Amino acid sequence: MARMTPEINAGSMADIAFLLLIFFLVTTTMDVDTGINRMLPPPIDPNAPEPPPVRERNVFVVLVDAQDRLLVEGEPGNINTLRERAKEFLLNEDRAPNLPDFEERNIELLGDVEVSRGVISLQNDRGTSYEMYIAVQNELAAAVREIRDDVSQQYFGRNFRDLRDEDQVQAIRQKVPMAISEAEPKDVGG
Amino acid sequence: MSRFRKEGGKKTPKINTASLPDIIFMLLFFFMVTTVMRETTLYVRTALPSATEIEQLERRSLVSFIYIGEPIQSHIFGTEPRIQLYDSFASVEDIASFIEAERQATAEAERPLMTTSLRVDRDAQMGIVTDVKQELRMVNALRVNYSTMRGEVAGMR
């Protein structure tokens, strides 16, 4: 009679696996890194000629002072209405003379369209809290994103975030640029 | 009558646990693959603010982290927000060499895709952040990501 190899007792295998599992459960940090993406302006070349001045109607000044108070276009503002104000400025649906003008451009996939020349200028004080700064950045980004969604729905029938075709994404980006400029630092006080 | 009833059918059958290790191993592998081990020990407190318009950071290998916040051991280092690069406190002047080192460690073709992630405490003030931003502009590291959590922003109703 052939000798039977004794069966290995696998009963404790589960315990060992459990032990490892618990170790990884504890050490795991499930945080995916998320955040607001921004491009900083390139450094200023001291020898470069002065850029042509931007017309006053094309600039939307948002100022946050050291007490986290908002000053929108020279008037006290509110974070709750900032998104609507920014959208109103960038869209300028009534073609008001004090809001930004438009530039005719030919964009692939969209044809001849009008692109707003408006730029949002975000200025802050050294004493502004980071939380407030992010809140303002977020609202301004939301304004641009909502306009992009509208345009995207109009042309391609889906939201900007759901566009899969890189050409379509680029087209919308050109039609609605992320025109938020972080100004040169200065002390606005307050 | 009850022809099919076995004798002793009242006894509950033993559950076969032979596949239990397999199931546990499957879970184990899932967690092993998704786990991201922290490479740096944080010396500053970075309670991130929250925002809604956020994007995910892709390609972690192309991301350099700058931490700004109040030192955790505030009884030694004070409560003034400090900058942390890699595993130690740093000053604003160190950022240029930090970015340069990160660039050297990256393949040349991928350098334009490098992003700097600013993990800043929500109670920090913009002064130190502005200094860091100016320094990043000087060395042409223009792609930044203000690290935030998902959630409603502060001050909104």
Q: Which residue of B has its CA nearest to A146?
A: B53
Task: Classify domain B44-150 at the CATH class level.
Answer: alpha beta
Of A14, A102, A91, A160, nearest in space to B55 by CA: A160
Interface test with A, best of B92, B153, B157 (most A CBs within 10 A): B153
Residues ≥6 apart with Cβ < 8 Å to A13 = B21
Of A161, A184, A175, A183, nearest in space to A90 by CA: A175
Shortest Cα distance, chain A CAs vs residue B85, angstroms: 17
Q: Which residue of A has its CA nearest to B125?
A: A129
Tell me the residue ranges of DSSP E strands in A65-190: 70-72, 75-77, 102-107, 111-116, 119-124, 180-182
Cβ of B122 and A134 within 8 Å? yes
Residues of A in contact with B36 (CB under 8 A): 28-29
For chain A, which ranges sit under pLDDT 70?
1-2, 10, 29-32, 185-190
pLDDT digits (tens, 9 = 90+) for A56-96: 888 888 998 888 888 888 888 888 889 999 999 988 888 88
Q: Which of A30, A37, A126 sits opposite B126 (nearest CB)?
A: A126
**pLDDT value, residue B157:** 53
Instruction: Note whether ipTM > 0.85 here.
Output: no
Burial level of A139, CB count in 10 A (0-12/13-18/19+)? buried
Shortest Cα distance, chain A CAs vs residue B97, angstroms: 17
- Distance CA(A181)–CA(A173), nearest Å, equals 16
Q: What is the mean pLDDT of each run of 10 residues along chain B (157 residues)?
A: 61 79 83 74 87 84 90 87 88 91 90 91 89 90 90 71
Q: Which of A29, A39, A128 sits opposite B126 (nearest CB)?
A: A128
What residues does each domain of chain B span?
44-150
Residues of B in contact with A130 (CB under 8 A): 49, 120-126, 129
- Helix, strand or coil, per DSSP, at residue A112: strand
Using CA atoms of B80, B84, B90, B93 in order, give the dihedral in degrees to the nearest 10.
Answer: -100
Length of chain A: 190
What residues does each domain of chain A span?
56-182
User: Which amino acid, residue A59?
Assistant: V
Cβ of B144 and A138 within 8 Å? no
